[in-house]
Amino acid sequence: MSAKRILVVCGTGVATSTVVVQKVRAFCESEGIDATISQGAVADLVSGSPNADLIVATTQVPATVTIPVVHGLPFLTGMGVDAVHAQLREHLA
């Protein structure tokens, strides 16, 4: 089975996505999920179809995106992380 491709996006592709990438990577490692995780800006989603199986976003994602999206704000606030972990398990299983 090939590695799942996860794209983490925030408004600029720098600050919050960096934090979330680290937390998603730690989660995947703890669950034994083989994943390639990259980061970018939400504007990258408008300019083309990203090469990803799942998007974790800390900002609003355009409705035109057809890839499943998990909202990653709980990784920043600490509230609702268990629900996000459950969503990640569901999409990455």
Instruction: Give catalytic status of residue 10 as yes or no.
Output: yes
Cα–Cα dist 68/87, whole Å: 10
Selected catalytic residue, list 10, 20, 21, 55: 10
The two tokens of residue 17 are 């996505």
Contact 89, 32 (CB under 8 A): no
Q: Which residues pair with 50 in a beta bridge?
A: none
Nearest CA to 53 out of 9, 20, 7 is that of: 7
Task: Please list the active-site residues.
Answer: 10
